[in-house]
């Protein structure tokens, strides 16, 4: 099984030295998130292109601009395409790189906490279009991921929380030590050790099931309900907030279905409250509208949905329920 090499660095200076030593300037192209480029210094001798990207421009038009830059720089399959940015940029550059001449060498340098612990690993990429979010994409592993924690210094609180929620998700499904660390110290996200634990949970799963036929679905813990909340609120509730509540509802359903110890929910609620994250959401749309949204979820097959629940801590299970039953479970909470 193919794997990405993961390196952990403390400072952007270290990152620049690593690039200098390992990636030839003549055969490399760097795409960097504009918000990151304005805050950190990179070696200007590299062929650097700034990209201003967000969920609205995470689309095929931006991919075409990236392909155009690769083409006009005579990129080949052996060109190193280095992406320095959050999950939006890595999804777009990952997709562009995987399809350019059927795939160039992708190196990801995640700069948001969510991209460090989640989006840079496991090879998924994608863009949004009028069918929905991330509906077009490929599975394409980066050859390397360079995790440099100095980038976290300039991240805002909301983006830190979004990343922490993904780390906590990894804790619930794969390593409870992560929960103890995050609940015990609210600056722990700077710790390479914590980031590595969360990455290990994801890569262990994706190594076994890259294309999401079974185990990879565990990574959706809290996400099916989270996506429903995001959509119901017309994206007024952020992804981190929505998944945060989704995890809480999944814990409540797990208590009912599998007798999961209530202390997990209690401790998690304390974390949400201490981090000023919402712990409750009142759906606005009608039941039938919510059912239509659920039916369009990528995880739905033949009107059955795979809910990820916890039989026990670190023991996720897939519970297949039909959409009607799923609505009962969600609205019941
Ligand atoms: N491919 C996957 O497996 C996977 C997994 C999870 C999420 N995602 C995708 O990731 C995206 C969300 O990623 P995200 O939360 O990183 O969002 P993002 O990339 O939009 O980054 C959040 C914001 O922070 C800025 N930013 C990034 N790094 C910064 C830094 N160091 N300092 C200051 N500002 C910085 C960005 O410009 C942006 O404004 C979604 O589109 C989602 O679909 C992909």
Confirm or reject: Cβ of 37 under 6 Å from ligand 1.
no
H or E element: which one contains 80?
Answer: strand 80-85
Rounded distance from Cα 24 to ligand 1 centre (Å): 27
Q: How far is residue 302's CA from residue 208's CA, in Å, rounded to a whole number?
A: 25
The segment(s) of the chain belonging to CATH 3.40.50.1970 are 5-155
Atom of ligand 1 nearest to the CA of 34: 37
For the entire predicted model, the pTM comes to 0.95
Query: Pairing between strand 132-136 and 304-312?
Result: unpaired
Q: What is the pLDDT of residues 131-189, one digit of tens each?
A: 888 999 999 999 999 999 999 999 999 999 999 999 999 999 999 999 999 999 888 88
Our answer on whether the CB atom of 122 is closer than 6 Å to any ligand 1 atom is yes
**CATH 1.20.1090.10 domain extents, the chain:** 161-332
Residue 243 sits at φ, ψ, to 5 deg, of -70, -35
- CATH number, domain 161-332: 1.20.1090.10
Listed residue (9, 240, 7, 199) closest to 117, CA to CA: 199
Give the distance (Å) from ligand 1 centre to CA of residue 121.
13
- For 5-155, CATH gives 3.40.50.1970
Spatial distance between the Cα atoms of 106 and 95, rounded to a whole number of angstroms: 10
Identify the residue whose C-alpha is closest to ligand 1 atom 12.
87
**Ligand 1 within 6 A of CB of 120:** no
Residue nearest to atom 7 of ligand 1 (CA): 119
Does residue 91 have its Cβ closer than 6 Å to ligand 1? yes
DSSP-derived pairing of the beta strands 80-85 and 105-110: parallel
Per-residue pLDDT in tens (0 to 9) along the chain, 333 residues: 679 999 999 999 999 999 999 999 999 999 999 999 999 999 999 999 999 999 999 999 999 999 999 999 999 999 999 999 999 999 999 999 999 999 999 999 999 999 999 999 999 999 999 988 899 999 999 999 999 999 999 999 999 999 999 999 999 999 999 999 999 988 888 899 999 999 999 999 999 999 998 999 999 999 999 999 999 999 899 888 999 999 999 999 999 999 999 999 999 999 999 998 999 999 999 988 998 888 877 666 667 888 899 999 999 999 988 888 888 778 776
């Amino acid at each position: 099984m193919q794997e990405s090499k993961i390196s952990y660095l403390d400072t952007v200076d270290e990152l620049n030295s690593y690039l200098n030593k390992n990636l030839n300037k003549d055969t490399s192209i760097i795409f960097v998130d504009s918000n990151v480029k304005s805050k950190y210094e990179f070696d200007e001798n590299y062929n650097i292109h700034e990209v201003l990207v967000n969920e609205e421009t995470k689309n095929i038009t931006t991919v075409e601009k990236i392909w155009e830059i690769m083409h006009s720089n005579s990129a080949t399959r052996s060109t190193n395409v280095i992406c320095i940015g959050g999950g939006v940029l890595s999804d777009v550059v990952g997709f562009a790189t995987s399809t350019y001449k059927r795939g160039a060498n992708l190196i990801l340098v995640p700069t948001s906490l969510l991209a460090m612990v989640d989006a840079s690993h496991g090879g998924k990429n994608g863009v949004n279009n009028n069918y929905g979010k991330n509906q077009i994409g490929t599975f394409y592993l980066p050859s390397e991921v360079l995790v440099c924690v100095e980038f976290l210094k300039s991240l805002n609180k909301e983006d830190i929380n979004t990343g922490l929620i993904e780390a906590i998700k990894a804790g619930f499904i794969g390593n409870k030590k992560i929960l103890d660390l995050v609940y015990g110290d609210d600056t722990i996200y700077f710790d390479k050790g914590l980031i590595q634990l969360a990455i290990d949970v994801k890569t262990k799963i994706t190594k076994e099931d890259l294309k999401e036929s079974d185990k990879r679905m565990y990574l959706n813990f809290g996400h099916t309900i989270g996506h429903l909340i995001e959509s119901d609120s017309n994206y007024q509730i952020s992804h981190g907030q929505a998944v945060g509540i989704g995890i809480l509802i999944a814990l409540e359903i797990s208590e009912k279905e599998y007798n999961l110890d209530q202390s997990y929910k209690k401790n998690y609620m304390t974390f949400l409250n201490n981090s000023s994250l919402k712990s409750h959401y009142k759906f606005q749309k009608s039941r039938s509208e919510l059912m239509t949204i659920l039916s369009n979820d990528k995880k739905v097959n033949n009107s059955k949905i795979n809910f990820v629940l916890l039989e026990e801590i670190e023991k996720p299970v897939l519970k297949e329920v039909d959409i009607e039953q799923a609505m009962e479970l969600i609205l019941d909470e």
